[in-house]
Amino acid sequence: MYKRLIQAMKSKNVTTTQIANLLGCRIATVSDKINGSVECGFSFSEASKIKKVFFPEYDIEYLFEKDNK
């Protein structure tokens, strides 16, 4: 689970639909990755795109640190 990404999304009103549109994938895929339902998570290029477009003020390491709890 990407808790910091979820917090940033809430604070900036970014939706999973917007991220799915950016990445060209299904909303369910983005939701599964954010919530940790799939082991692989986001690829580096996906994370880079998300950070660049929606969260340029954050460090990529901060946003995409997984919380495995």
pLDDT digits (tens, 9 = 90+) for 7-66: 999 999 999 999 999 999 999 999 999 998 888 899 999 999 999 999 999 999 999 998
pTM listed for this prediction: 0.90
Computed on alpha carbons and rounded to an integer, the radius of gyration of the chain in Å comes to 11
* Contact predicate 36/1, CB 8 Å: yes
Residue 64: DSSP 8-state? T
Token digits for 18?
Answer: 């917007």
Q: Set out the domains of the chain in order of their start, with CATH numbers.
A: 3-63 (1.10.260)
Q: Please report the DSSP string for 8-60 in residue order.
A: HHHHHT--HHHHHHHHTS-HHHHHHHHHTSSSS---HHHHHHHHHHH-TTS-H
